[in-house]
C-alpha cells in the first residue's frame, strides 16, 4: 500500500512537471516582445475551458513563480488576472478572484506598467460586468481605456476582443454612439485571435443598431457585409442568420418578393439545425406574407411550423406572433369566436411584451443612472483628490518660497553682519592707525617743544651769564625770557593733536570744571600727558616752583574737600 502511494505521488509530480515544462519551455523560446501574447493565447486555448481545475491552477502557479523569479513583471501581472479568471469560472463571483484582480492592478502600478495596468483593469471590468456589478465594471473599463489610449491601441494584445467587448457594453447600456465607434473599430482591426468571428459579430451588431434607428439603408448594408463575410470564411450559422435578418428587413420595407426566398432558406436551415426558436420568427413573416396574398393553405402550413416551434419558445414576442397569425387565419376561415379569442390572447402577449420591454428599459436606465452616479462620484473624488494635491502643492510651494525667503534674508543678514564686521574692523584699523599717528605726532610735538624750551633755557642761561659779565640787560633778552614758550599757535596745534588721542578730555573738562582758566586747562592737559614739573615748566615757560604752586591751586579747585586723590584718579577716565 505504501509503495502504491509513493508511486502515485511521483506520478503526480511527473504530470505537473511535464505541464509546467511544456508551458515554460515554450515561453522561454518565445521572443520577449511576444511572451505576454503567448501566455494569453496559451491560456485561452488550453486552460480557460479546461475542467481540470487542479491542472489549470498548477500551470498558472508554476507560471507565477517563474515570472517572479525571472522578474517578468508584465507576465506576473497577467498571471494574477488569469488565476482570477479561472476561479471566477469555477466559483462565480468570489472574494479570491476579486483579490487577485486587485493584486494584478496594484502590481502594474507598482512596476509602472501602463499597458499591464490597462489589461488588468480591462479583465477586472469584465469580471464585474459578467456578474452585473455594472458601476464598478465601468470604473475599471474606463481606467483600462485611459491606459490603452496612453500607451497606444496598437500595442494592446488581442485588441479586437477588447474593442468588441466595449462596443457590446456600450450597446447594452444605451450609449449607442460609443457602441458604433467601438464596433467600427472592431471591424477595421487587421489582426487578432478569431478575428473573423469578431468582425462578423461587429457587422451584425451595427446592422441591428441602425435598424433600431430606422436607418434601413445602413442596416441592410451591414447585414449584407455580415452575409458576405460569413460566406467568404465559411461560417454557415452566421450565413443562415444573415439571410434571415436581410429577409426580415426586406419584409419590413415592403420588398416581399426579395424577402420570401431568404426567409424560406433561413427557416428551413434553422429547422435542420434544430434551431426552432429562430425558425419560428421566420415562419411568422412567411405566414403573414401568405395571408396577404390570400393563400390560406400556405399560411396554415407556416403556422403549423410556428405552432411546433412555439413549444420550444416561451418568449412574449413568440406568443404575440403566434396569436396574431392564429387570429388572422381564423378570420380568413370565418371562425370569428376563435379569432376574437386569439386577438385577446395576442393583446395579452403584446401587453406582456411591452411590460417586459419597459421593465428591461427601466433596468437599462437604472444601470446607466447607477453607473453615471458611480462615475460622477469617482470624478468628484478625483477632483477632491486633485484639489487636495493642488492645495498641498500650493502649501508646499509656499513653504519652499517662505523657507527660501528666510534663507535669503538670513544670508543677506549674515552678509550684512560680515560686511559690518569688515567695515568695523577696517574703521577700527584706521582709527587705531590715526590714534597711533596722533600719539606719535603729539609725542613728537611735545619732544620738539621740550627741545625748543631746552634751547631757549640754554640761551637764557647764556644771557644771564653775559648779564652778570656786562651788567646790562637787553630788551630782546628780557622779552625772550618772559615769553610763553607754548604760544597760541603752538597751543592750537597741540590741542588738535591732543584731541585725537584723548577725544573726550575737553568735553569732560567743560562739563565738570567749566570754571577753569585757559592757563589751568593747559596745565591740566600737560598733567594728563604725565609730564614732570620741569618738563611742564619748560613747556609753559615758567619755573618749576611756579608749576608746583599752580598744581596745588588746581588740585584745590578740582577737589576742595579731598586733597589725597591724585590727578590720575581725577582725570584718568577722561
Q: Residue holding cell 480557460?
A: 48
Average pLDDT over every residue of 69-90: 93
Confidence of residue 137 (pLDDT cuts 50, 70, 90): confident
Task: Render pLDDT for 541-570 as a digit per residue (tens, 0 to 9).
Answer: 788 888 888 888 888 888 766 555 566 666
pLDDT for residue 484: 45
Average pLDDT over every residue of 457-474: 56
pLDDT surpasses 70 at 458: no
Give the H/E segment covering residue 184.
Answer: helix 176-188
Q: Kindly calculate the radius of gyration of the chain based on its CA atoms and give it in whole angstroms.
A: 59
Give the H/E segment covering residue 169.
Answer: helix 159-172
- Lowest-confidence range among 154-168, 253-267, 381-395? 381-395
pLDDT surpasses 90 at 103: yes
pLDDT for residue 190: 76
The 8-class DSSP code of residue 92 comes to: S
Confidence of residue 104 (pLDDT cuts 50, 70, 90): very high
Is the Cβ–Cβ distance between 27 and 38 less than 8 Å?
A: yes
What CA–CA distance (Å, rounded) separates 211 from 204?
Answer: 11
Average pLDDT over every residue of 442-463: 67
Burial per residue of 282-301, b for 16 or more beta-carbon CB atoms within 10 angstroms, e otherwise: bbbbbbbbbbeeeeeeebbe
Residues 6+ apart with CB under 8 A from 395: none
pLDDT for residue 224: 94
Residues 6+ apart with CB under 8 A from 343: 323, 327
What CA–CA distance (Å, rounded) separates 289 from 407?
Answer: 93
pLDDT for residue 413: 87
What CA–CA distance (Å, rounded) separates 36 from 13?
Answer: 27
pLDDT for residue 491: 82
As a dihedral over the C-alpha atoms of residue 398, residue 401, residue 404, residue 408, rounded to 10 degrees, the angle is -120
Helix 35-42 to helix 2-29 angle (10° resolution) is 140
Cα distances (angstroms) measured from residue 288 to each of 169, 263, 341, 474, 561: 35, 12, 19, 173, 151
pLDDT for residue 474: 43
Amino acid at each position: 500500500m505504501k509503495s502504491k502511494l509513493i508511486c502515485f505521488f511521483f506520478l503526480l509530480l511527473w504530470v505537473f512537471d511535464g505541464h509546467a515544462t511544456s508551458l515554460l519551455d515554450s515561453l522561454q523560446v518565445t521572443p520577449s516582445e511576444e511572451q505576454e501574447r503567448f501566455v494569453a493565447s496559451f491560456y485561452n486555448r488550453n486552460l480557460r475551458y479546461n475542467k481540470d481545475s487542479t491542472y489549470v491552477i498548477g500551470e498558472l502557479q508554476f507560471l507565477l513563480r517563474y515570472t517572479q523569479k525571472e522578474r517578468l513583471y508584465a507576465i506576473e501581472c497577467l498571471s494574477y488576472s488569469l488565476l482570477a479568471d479561472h476561479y471566477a469560472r469555477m466559483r462565480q463571483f468570489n472574494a479570491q478572484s476579486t483579490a487577485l484582480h486587485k493584486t494584478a492592478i496594484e502590481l502594474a502600478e507598482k512596476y509602472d506598467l501602463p499597458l499591464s495596468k490597462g489589461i488588468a483593469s480591462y479583465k477586472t471590468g469584465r469580471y464585474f460586468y459578467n456578474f452585473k456589478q455594472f458601476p464598478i465594471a465601468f470604473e475599471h473599463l474606463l481606467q483600462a481605456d485611459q491606459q490603452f489610449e496612453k500607451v497606444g491601441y496598437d500595442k494592446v494584445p488581442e485588441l479586437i476582443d477588447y474593442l468588441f467587448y466595449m462596443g457590446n457594453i456600450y450597446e447594452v447600456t444605451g450609449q449607442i454612439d460609443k457602441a458604433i465607434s467601438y464596433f467600427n473599430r472592431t471591424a477595421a482591426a487587421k489582426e487578432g485571435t478569431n478575428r473573423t468571428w469578431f468582425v462578423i459579430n461587429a457587422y451584425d451588431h451595427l446592422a441591428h443598431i441602425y435598424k433600431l434607428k430606422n436607418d434601413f439603408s445602413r442596416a441592410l448594408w451591414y447585414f449584407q457585409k455580415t452575409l458576405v463575410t460569413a460566406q467568404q470564411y465559411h461560417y454557415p450559422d452566421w450565413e443562415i442568420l444573415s439571410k434571415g435578418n436581410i429577409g426580415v428587413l426586406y419584409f419590413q420595407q415592403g420588398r416581399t418578393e426579395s424577402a420570401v426566398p431568404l426567409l424560406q432558406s433561413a427557416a428551413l436551415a434553422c429547422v435542420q439545425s434544430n434551431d426552432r426558436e429562430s425558425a419560428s420568427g421566420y415562419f411568422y413573416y412567411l405566414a403573414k406574407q401568405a395571408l396577404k396574398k390570400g393563400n390560406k393553405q400556405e399560411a396554415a402550413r407556416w403556422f403549423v411550423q410556428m405552432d411546433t416551434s412555439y413549444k420550444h419558445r416561451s418568449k412574449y414576442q413568440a406568443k404575440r406572433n403566434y396569436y396574431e397569425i392564429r387570429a388572422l387565419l381564423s378570420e380568413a376561415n370565418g371562425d370569428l369566436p376563435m379569432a376574437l379569442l386569439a386577438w385577446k390572447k395576442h393583446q395579452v402577449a403584446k401587453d406582456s411584451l411591452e411590460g417586459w420591454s419597459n421593465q428591461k428599459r427601466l433596468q437599462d436606465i437604472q444601470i446607466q443612472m447607477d453607473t453615471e452616479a458611480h462615475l460622477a462620484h469617482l470624478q468628484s473624488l478625483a477632483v477632491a483628490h486633485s484639489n487636495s494635491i493642488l492645495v498641498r502643492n500650493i502649501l508646499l510651494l509656499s513653504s519652499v518660497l517662505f523657507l527660501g525667503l528666510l534663507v535669503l534674508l538670513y544670508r543677506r543678514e549674515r552678509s550684512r553682519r560680515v560686511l559690518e564686521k569688515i567695515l568695523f574692523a577696517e574703521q577700527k584699523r584706521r582709527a587705531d592707525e590715526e590714534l597711533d599717528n596722533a600719539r606719535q605726532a603729539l609725542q613728537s610735538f611735545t619732544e620738539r617743544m621740550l627741545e625748543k624750551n631746552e634751547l631757549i633755557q640754554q640761551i637764557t642761561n647764556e644771557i644771564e651769564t653775559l648779564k652778570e659779565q656786562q651788567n646790562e640787560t637787553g630788551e630782546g633778552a628780557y622779552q625772550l625770557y618772559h615769553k610763553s614758550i607754548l604760544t597760541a599757535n603752538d597751543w592750537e596745534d597741540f590741542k588738535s593733536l591732543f584731541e585725537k588721542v584723548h577725544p573726550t578730555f575737553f568735553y569732560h573738562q567743560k562739563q565738570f570744571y567749566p570754571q577753569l582758566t585757559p592757563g589751568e586747562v593747559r596745565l591740566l592737559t600737560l598733567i594728563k600727558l604725565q609730564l614732570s614739573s620741569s618738563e611742564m615748566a619748560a613747556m609753559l615757560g615758567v619755573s618749576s616752583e611756579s608749576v608746583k604752586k599752580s598744581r596745588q591751586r588746581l588740585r584745590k579747585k578740582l577737589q576742595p574737600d579731598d586733597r589725597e586723590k591724585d590727578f590720575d584718579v581725577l582725570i584718568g577716565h577722561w
